[in-house]
Amino acid sequence: MQQPTIRPLGDTFGAEVIDLDLTQPIEADTVNELNQALLDNLVLVIRDQDLTAQQFRDGIANFGDPMLQHRVAFRIPECPDVSRVINREKMRPASMWHTDHTNHEEPPKATILYARKLPAEGGDTCFSDMYAGLDLLSAESREKIQDMVTINNMEPDNPTYAAEDRNEFDSGVPHPMVRTHPETGKKALYFHVTKALEIEGMETEKVRPFLDGLLEEAIKPENTLRHHWTMGDVVIVDNRCAMHRADPNYDQAEERLLWRVILKGDKPV
């Protein structure tokens, strides 16, 4: 029987999980405890894993059902539910704050990243609590956005999207900017700054500056977490109430490779 320890990561949010082996069966009570820990902490770091792609996929399935990701060229052939996130092959660092795959009707509830190759220094991933982010907005900003709807597409200038990706996932999907979490019932600020190409009722050229202004207002040191990767780390983030970004300030001559699984979610409301 696995009996992992869950303990806080720092002063803001997030928790780390010790003594859990994702290659081994996990009892139902422990699965429930881990899922509750994700709801309570927004980010979980599971330490000291040594996984094949299939073991990664199967272990993470304890948290939900994996779903296929766009960017078909980066799916791992022997396990297509696992994709590569890499600073190669024209993939640009996701250095802006975002929540994943908002161009899907039912975006993922969680993103899971597993370190496979790391630069000698840097390459951190940063997270922000968007329950708190919504609270940090001024009363004027909260009132302005409470009924706003973003229209989400794939970035038109991204060279890593194939025609197959665009045919299936580039149709302009509407999502509320303030999202109610389906499990906690709490409200969070919710958008992907480069996929929200439009906001209903707003002139297109004003959308990006408006979203950038919201991020500047909503993301502060007190609601952020920086994860310094070590090999063997598996990191889970709740996409419904947190944003994340990759810090690109490392030697790009060195390879940074993460494997990623995303889990099926609900239509945001």
Question: pLDDT tens across 222-257, in order?
Answer: 999 999 999 999 999 999 999 999 999 999 999 999
253-268 as b/e, with b when 16 or more CB fall inside 10 Å?
eeebebbbbbbebeeb
Which pLDDT score is estimated for 89? 94
Superfamily of domain 5-263: Clavaminate synthase-like (3.60.130.10)
d(CA 68, CA 101): 11
The per-residue pLDDT for 93 is 86
Annotated domain spans of the chain: 5-263
As beta bridge partners, residue 259 has 84, 114
128-182 pLDDT tens trace: 999 999 999 999 999 999 999 999 999 999 999 999 989 998 999 999 999 999 9
What pLDDT sits at residue 160? 92
Confidence at 11, pLDDT banded by 50, 70, 90:
confident
- How do 15-18 and 43-46 pair as beta strands? parallel
Tokens representing residue 20 in the block: 């859990």
Residue 200 CA from chain centroid, whole number: 24
pLDDT band at 46 (very low <50, low <70, confident <90, very high): very high
Nearest to 200 by CA among 172, 228, 223: 172
Burial class (CB in 10 A: 0-12, 13-18, 19+), 142: middle
Q: Report residue 155 CA to chain centroid gap.
A: 17
> What is the spatial distance between Cα 106 and Cα 265, in angstroms, rounded to a whole number?
6
- Measured in Å, how far apart are the chain's first and last C-alpha atoms? 38
Instruction: Write out pLDDT tens, residues 91-131.
Output: 988 999 999 999 999 999 999 999 999 999 999 999 999 99
Classify the phi-psi angles of 34: left when phi > 0, otherwise alpha if psi is within -120 to 50, otherwise beta: alpha
Which of these, 171, 180, 174, lies nearest to 199 by C-alpha position?
A: 174
Asked whether the CA dihedral 43, 81, 33, 233 is positive or negative, the reply is negative
Determine the pLDDT at residue 1: 83
Residues 51-107 have pLDDT tens digits of 999 999 999 999 999 999 999 999 999 999 999 999 999 998 899 999 999 999 999
Looking at the chain, the whole-number percentage of residues with pLDDT higher than 70 is 100
Per-residue pLDDT at 14 exceeds 90: yes
Contact between residue 99 and residue 192 where contact means Cβ atoms under 8 Å apart: yes
